[in-house]
Structure 1
Amino acid sequence: MQTAFNASQASTDFSGLWIPLVTPFDQGQVDRAALKRLVAHYRSSGIAGLVVCGSTGEAAALDKDEQLQTLHTVMNEAPGLPVVMGLSGYHLGQTAARIKALGALGLAGILLPAPSYIRPSQAGLIEWFTALADVSAVPVILYDIPYRTGSRLDLETILALADHPRIQALKDCGGDPAKTQALIEDGRLQVLAGEDANIFSTVAQGGRGAIAAAAHLHTARFVEVMRRIRAGDLAGAQALWAPLQPLIEGLFDEPNPGPLKALLAERGLLRNELRSPMTRASAALVERLQRLDALAA
């Protein structure tokens, strides 16, 4: 049974560009100084907000205390900038308890994927997301990313969940353009591109924005591409978008965020360090990305 909900007190406009922050490390520990540098670098860049502890943030390699410390550091360094917290799990009670605890922190939303490893039915997925949305004090962004969770959210499942007043958006990594278009046309959820290569097409079709790892780089260009699309200047947007496409492709040729961290380290924003089993990008890929990065500038 859904708890009482005041939409005016828990509604977020997720339009625009959201950056899923990497988590910097220094000799195995979360590098809070570098994290503060990152927030300072992005907070006035025109982005809509930040996502903490997403897959790009290596959240699975952080313990719960580190996740909370990372969240608090980001929120303290970006007053007034909306922050979304990624939260995954496969134990319903524990996940619900964490969502309740996060509800008092002033978050703009919770980014919530299907439970990994379990591979429940579509009915089970509806039960999962409904139970967690019921206890959330902030809006929920559904995270449809079957290649990480092992569970695909069918169109009918997402449409059923769209009736829940707290479920307000979708990070779309589902890999189904027809489903994306149907959800945009339905209009109840704010559809956000989750695959960076799909930003242009998603926004041009009426999607509301994107949560994009590649936008750590050339952030202002990503923001301007989306602004021009919304203004109807598709030709201008395409001219800015075209140089970004090879870089975006290259950034995901090896597991994210290894390639991204290599380029951010070159910019002096963090150390090129990841937590096992994530590894640094290969020297050959970094060399190629350096060329693509320069061409995108």
Structure 2
Amino acid sequence: MSNFSGIWIPLVTPFSADGAVDHAALRRLIGLYAEAGVAGVVALGTTGEPSSLDAAEQEAVLATTLDAAGGALPVIVGVSGNNARSMRERVLRLNALPLAGLLISAPYYVRPSQAGIADHFTMLADASEHPVVLYDIPARTGIRIELDTLLALAAHPRIQAIKDCAGSLDTTLSLILDGRLQVLAGDDVRIFDTVCMGGSGAIAASAHIWPERFVALDRALKAGRLDEGRALFHALVPLIRALTSESNPAPVKAALAAQGVISGDLRAPMTQASETLRARLQNMLAM
């Protein structure tokens, strides 16, 4: 059984000037986050722009991530889509890889019933030899995984955690009190209250920047050092707000570019962060 506690970073996919995946930059990022003490990384999540990568590029990004992580840093891989058959085939192929888990969202665009959602996750969890992390993000999928559905899915032995982006405090607390799923904040501004309520941590795109501070926040709260944790969180809120003010992952890539770690390039239809936000981030990171 995997432990999904702590701060996990949903990796961006860096691109070089010619538009190709920059695998060297991806390796550098993973090295930086390992040094910062993060719990693990997520490859090909929303922040990694998987919809803009073809199948071969996705496989290459995952291979680089696993190689750079070296077995010391756990790796989760994102699995999303609305073609149940092709998703099941992908899950079966992923069984051969040394993964900590699969991050699976509800089927997007088609808006299935709650029964359809439950059947979908059950089918994929049955096919997987890895733990499954549910990804509840209705803003992107168009459908929410309701609490009753989540509690029913929690009975599956391979469904072990949830990335919680539903924006419902009641759902978050109900899942934590139920105790069967490790609850990870998916909205970065919810890290403080989720961990204080007993959640396991976060999958936080904002933690690309100043990752050691996010790690310190998680550790302080879990150690009961509430004043220290509150101070750390309050200091991070301006960064979190800036990095979530435009469509992900443009702000994160702009901040990483400002630090000289990667270029800020994205693939269409995504565009770079606005000039106003890039200037704001430059000033923030210079402080």
Same fold (TM over 0.5): yes
Deviation of 1:292 after TM superposition, in Å, equals 2.9
Partner deviation per Cα, 1:235-275 (whole Å, 9 max, x = no partner): 11111111110110111111111111111012221111000
**What is aligned with 1:21?**
11
**What is aligned with 1:35?**
26
**What is aligned with 2:150?**
158
| 1:116 pairs with one of 105, 108, 130 | 108
Deviation of 1:290 after TM superposition, in Å, equals 2.4
What is the TM-score with the length of structure 2 in the denominator? 0.98
- What aligned pairs does 1:97-116 form with structure 2 within 5 A after superposition? 97-116=89-108
Q: Distance in 2 between matches of 1:39 and 1:140?
A: 22
Instruction: Give SS of 2:36's match.
Output: coil
Partner deviation per Cα, 1:169-215 (whole Å, 9 max, x = no partner): 00000010011000000000000000000000000000001000000
AA partner of residue 29 (structure 1): A
| 2:221 pairs with one of 229, 235, 252 | 229
Distance 1:294 1:198, change over 3 A: farther
What is the TM-score with the length of structure 1 in the denominator? 0.94
Q: Distance in 2 between matches of 1:30 and 1:273?
A: 10
AA partner of residue 275 (structure 1): R
Distance 1:42 1:84, change over 3 A: same
AA partner of residue 101 (structure 1): R
Deviates more, 1:273-282 or 1:262-271: 262-271
Q: Distance in 2 between matches of 1:264 and 1:289?
A: 10
Q: Distance in 1 between matches of 2:280 and 2:146?
A: 37
AA partner of residue 253 (structure 1): S
Flag structure 2 segments of 5+ consecutive residues without an equivalent: none
Q: Distance in 2 between matches of 1:152 and 1:52?
A: 23
Instruction: Give SS of 1:270's match.
Output: coil
Instruction: Give SS of 1:272's match.
Output: coil
Deviation of 1:42 after TM superposition, in Å, equals 1.2
Q: Distance in 2 between matches of 1:120 and 1:85?
A: 23
Q: Distance in 1 between matches of 2:100 and 2:254?
A: 29
1:147 aligns with 2:131: no
Flag structure 1 segments of 5+ consecutive residues without an equivalent: 1-10
1:189 aligns with 2:172: no
**What is aligned with 1:67?**
58
Q: Distance in 2 between matches of 1:125 and 1:272?
A: 35
Partner deviation per Cα, 1:42-71 (whole Å, 9 max, x = no partner): 112111000000011111111111111001
Deviation of 1:100 after TM superposition, in Å, equals 0.6
| 1:78 pairs with one of 69, 74, 89 | 69
AA partner of residue 121 (structure 1): S
1:282 aligns with 2:269: no
Q: Distance in 2 between matches of 1:294 and 1:126?
A: 47
**What is aligned with 1:12?**
2
**What is aligned with 2:262?**
270
Aligned residues: 285
AA partner of residue 136 (structure 1): S
- What aligned pairs does 1:167-182 form with structure 2 within 5 A after superposition? 167-182=159-174
AA partner of residue 169 (structure 1): A
Deviation of 1:104 after TM superposition, in Å, equals 1.0
Instruction: Give SS of 1:105's match.
Output: coil
Instruction: Give SS of 1:43's match.
Output: helix
**What is aligned with 2:35?**
44
Q: Distance in 1 between matches of 2:224 and 2:34?
A: 26
Aligned Cα root-mean-square deviation (Å): 0.9
Instruction: Give SS of 2:238's match.
Output: helix
The answer to whether the 8 Å contact 2:258/2:282 transfers is no
Instruction: Give SS of 2:93's match.
Output: helix
Partner deviation per Cα, 1:58-95 (whole Å, 9 max, x = no partner): 11111111111001101111112100000111111110
Deviation of 1:294 after TM superposition, in Å, equals 4.0
* Percent identical: 53
